[in-house]
Amino acid sequence: MIIGLFLKHIKAYKGINFVPIGRTYKFVTYVGENGAGKSSILETLDSFFNNKSYPINKSALSDGINTTGNEPFAAPVFLIEKAKVRSHKRLFELLSLYFWNVQKTSLHAGVQSSMKEFFELREPLLTDENYSQETHYFFVFGEQNLISTPKPYFASFHGEEGFLLSFLELGSEVFLDMDATEKRNKISELRDELNKKVALKEWRDVSSYLKEMYSYVYFPVEIEVESFTKIETREMQKIFDKRLKDEIESALTSVNFVNQGGINDSLDSFVSEIEEILENKYCYDTGQRRNNSVTKSDIVNKILEVYFQKRILNKKSGGELTKVSELSAGEKRQALINLVYAFLKRNPDRETMVIIAIDEPENSLHTALCYDQFEKLKEVSELNQILITTHWYGFLPVVSEGFGHFLNVTDNKIGFETYDLYNYRSEIQTAISTSRNQIPSNFILKSTYDLVQSIFYSLKNAEPYNWIICEGISEKIYFEYFFAEEIITKRLRILPMGGQSKVIRLYKYLQNPISEERCSGKVYCLIDTDQIRCEEINRGCNTLSIRRLSNGGNSDTTSLLTLDNNDTSETDIERALNPILFKTTIEALTDNPEYQIDSTVNESGNSDFIRNFRNVDLENYFKEDEGNNKILFAKEYIKICERDDPTKDMIPNWVTDIKGYFS
């Protein structure tokens, strides 16, 4: 997959810019105002992979970017499983070897500055057990000279001495007998001549092969849907994963083109007969000495013209057919996504790596339909890389495995704020106050509005969703384990909001629409009981409920109380877990005597937290490392549950009560 992109002087991006994409997830979104540079990213990648003209920055053109050293370039950062590469392995290996190991200090100062994002991108890869030099190729590979004939280019690394020397190791006989000193003496000469005489053809071959490994399909906002969805188009064949001409040629294998008695012999005889009737005073001649016969290619092209080009996509409805060109703008957008979804889900095992890039999937769609569009794209992203630009914040609760890149323009420089969508609601609160780039002023209002709409319409689907709204990421970790079955069978989604007050606020926003219209799905809001008494709000209805956890003073069990209940016993989710598994978890995480539990754990009720752990300063433990211990504890607790409680017999009773709400 591609995990980043360097570009210079392309459309909205003047000068050298780095565009984050991400390695962990295949679902990637770019959010920002019009003109912020979202579509430029997808269009640049389309130019690279599909050999189209690059959208060069017009103002940069007027500044003279054709001068040496200031040319535009585009260079994606690739991370590819070695098993997927079947050709040019030697070149891939040498290229990857350089980029896996190059040190920032070996570059001159200017390159260190422009390529700092490369090293920030590589750093986590070096310690990630899912990627290594043994299993993955990792490199920057792009194109320069974009205005005329693009040629292979490696971003700002291209002219570096170490990189130039790596070219010399490609096996050119000219340099085989040179020692290191001799090679270095050749560097100044090579800077101008290397691409022309030594490696350009080899790298062009690599470039062509690299592009063939990917099927990049770009859906811009302004798209002629009828033409785009024709079976014979290049884009549709990438989605179908079939080469239409190959399919037709295969069907013509039984046709005799060249042997005696074949189709050409028959046609020649027919033409000769006509000429004899004309007493050979006239003849039908091609004017060419060669290629006078009908070839398989001729038949294929004619079949394309006669059979496929007449066929256009139609929508079926009640036995009636409507041309896709006659649909509304929103319906056209929906048809495109449905087509992509159907074929990518149908054929997950493809020879090429698929990247689907879509500008504003929500364009012209009602909010109720937006949710379905993003849900389908999320499913497709399980196996294919999806790049999306959008103005619709309602996708945020739909996707828990993806990245959201928020674009902002400050002093004519485009900046990115990146969020892991697994916990975006919690993270965004801190980011707004500490962000390097100003997050759009309407972010909270718009994201909350779209979120409420998104949840509400998901409850009214023919196959409705269900929701648990909780405070933070640790709750999400527990609930994804406790409610694993419901996530599949009930389409349950877990959404952490980043605090008690935000859960209550969302509950209030949902009250009116849910109480006024019948919904098939349900929402359950759950909060802790803090020292401060909770607000007195109603207990909800059949499809919307809000409760808080309470151990009820010295009670053995954890209860789910309404917010107007008088009990204010401080209880968070850790105090409501199984006591045996809790003790095993804390012992696995720390040997600090302050946090050790020496007494025998009372197994009655759920956790009996107060009685079991009254002498242990666990509150302080969960505050350590800026609160990250809560997340570490949750992950370890689930690991121990999977090991020691595979049948889930020790799930707390209050969890069972919530399960009952959804059943």
What does the DSSP assignment read for 65-99? Answer: TTSTT---EEEEEEEEEGGG--S-HHHHHHHHHHH
- Is the pLDDT at 478 greater than 90, yes or no? yes
Task: Give how far Cα 585 sits from Cα of 23, 592, 621, 656, Å.
Answer: 30, 13, 13, 22
Q: Where are the beta strands (DSSP E) in 249-391?
A: 314-317, 320-323, 353-359, 385-390
**Whether residue 532 has pLDDT greater than 80:** no
Per-residue confidence (pLDDT) for residue 596, from 0 to 100: 65
Confidence of residue 124 (pLDDT cuts 50, 70, 90): confident
Would you call 498 helix, strand, or coil by DSSP? coil
pLDDT of residue 273 exceeding 60, the answer is yes
Identify the residue with better confidence: 627 or 71. 71
Q: With 70 as the cut, is the pLDDT of residue 485 above it?
A: yes
Q: How far apart are CA 517 and CA 468, in angstroms?
A: 20
Cα-Cα-Cα-Cα dihedral sign, residues 103, 105, 106, 108? positive
Residue 463, pLDDT > 70, answer yes
Distances from the Cα of 265 to the Cαs of 270, 297, 299, 348, 471, in angstroms? 9, 17, 16, 45, 80
Determine phi and psi for 420, rounding to 5 degrees: -75, 120
Average pLDDT, the chain: 77
pLDDT at 174: 47
Lookup result for tokens 């912020």: 36
Tell which residue, 550, 543, 552, has the closest CA to residue 525.
Answer: 543
- Residues 187-230: pLDDT tens digits? 555 555 544 544 566 778 888 889 888 888 888 887 776 666 66
Buried b (16+ CB within 10 A) or exposed e, 150-168: bbbbbbbbbebbebbbbbb
34-70: per-residue pLDDT in tens?
888 889 999 999 999 988 888 888 766 666 555 556 7
Count the helices and strands in the chain (H runs, E runs).
Answer: 26, 19
Q: Which residues of 82-110 are buried (b: 16+ CB within 10 A; e: fewer)?
A: eeebeebeebbeebbbbbbebeeeebeee
Burial of 241 from C-beta contacts in 10 A (0-12 / 13-18 / 19+)? middle
Q: What is the rounded distance in angstroms from the CA atom of residue 434 to the CA atom of residue 442?
A: 17
Whole-Å CA distances, 468 to 57, 182, 269, 496, 509 = 47, 67, 78, 8, 15
Rg (CA), the chain: 31
Using pLDDT thresholds of 50, 70 and 90, give the confidence band for residue 483. Answer: very high
pLDDT beyond 70 at 490: yes
Region class of 411: left (phi > 0), else alpha (psi between -120 and 50), else beta = left
User: Per DSSP, which regions of 463-508 are E strands?
Assistant: 466-470, 492-496
Looking at residue 417, its pLDDT comes to 81
pLDDT-derived band of residue 522, with 50, 70 and 90 as boundaries?
very high
Residue 562 above 70 pLDDT?
Answer: yes
Please give the share of the chain, as a percent, with pLDDT higher than 90: 12
**Cβ pair 237, 72 in contact under 8 A:** no
364-to-164, 330, 333, 334, 367 alpha-carbon distances in Å: 50, 4, 8, 10, 9
- Residue 557 predicted with pLDDT over 80: no
Written as one letter, the residue type at 270 is F
296 CB-near residues (< 8 Å, 6+ apart) = 249, 252, 255, 257
Residue 1: helix, strand or coil by DSSP? coil
**What single-letter amino acid sits at 71?**
E
pLDDT band with cut points at 50, 70 and 90 for residue 662: very high
Query: Can you tell me the mean pLDDT for 615-627?
Result: 67
The DSSP bridge partners found for residue 153 are: 142
- The beta strands (E) that lie in 141-288 are given as 142-144, 151-153, 214-219
Left if phi > 0, otherwise alpha if psi is -120 to 50, otherwise beta: which for 145? left
Residue 281 has pLDDT above 70, yes or no: yes
